[in-house]
Amino acid sequence: MEQLSLSQNKFIAEVANIHEEQLEQQYYDYQKSNLSVALRIEMIERSLKLEAGHILIETLNDILVGVVWGQFEVVGCKVVIEMLYVHPEYRNQGIGDKLKTSIESWGINQGAQKIESTVAYSNKEMIEMNLKRDYQVEKLIMSKKLSVINEDNNN
């Protein structure tokens, strides 16, 4: 496991792409695009430059098999996990647990008093992992798409 660096353009792009794919899978009204990936790359690079976040990657033969991305928020004195992802072929091998342990340790070293992670309701494995690690469920976000009446669709 290593910290992602600005010189690792290939992995930065891959992390951005995975992040956008995950958002698209989790939110029915989110659509990944070339622009959204480019903006995510910019966000990752800015985070690395400013040392505002911590991105750890697990690689095997120059293949990205796992990543965790955490941001320290001064307000609330907490770490927010932006993403924890393990490639499907490498799951159930302890990689996710190792990444989670590392980001928690980083948070402690930053002086964080809390760590938060948003998990898709359908991601039962991650929910189970978090509960085993003493995470508490604090809220459940529910949404409904509303029809909008406007001049374009006359609804």
Residue 106: partners with Cβ closer than 8 Å, 6 or more residues away: 54, 70, 79
Smallest CA-to-CA distance from 79 within 123, 122, 42, 47 is with: 47
| Per-residue pLDDT tens over the stretch 11-39 | 999 999 999 998 888 877 888 989 999 99
| Per-residue pLDDT tens over the stretch 53-67 | 899 999 999 999 999
- First and final C-alpha spacing in the chain: 53
Spell out the domain ranges in the chain: 2-132
22-26, 46-50, 138-142, 148-152: least confidently modelled range: 148-152
Fold designation for 2-132: Aminopeptidase (3.40.630)
Smallest CA-to-CA distance from 94 within 18, 1, 5, 22 is with: 1
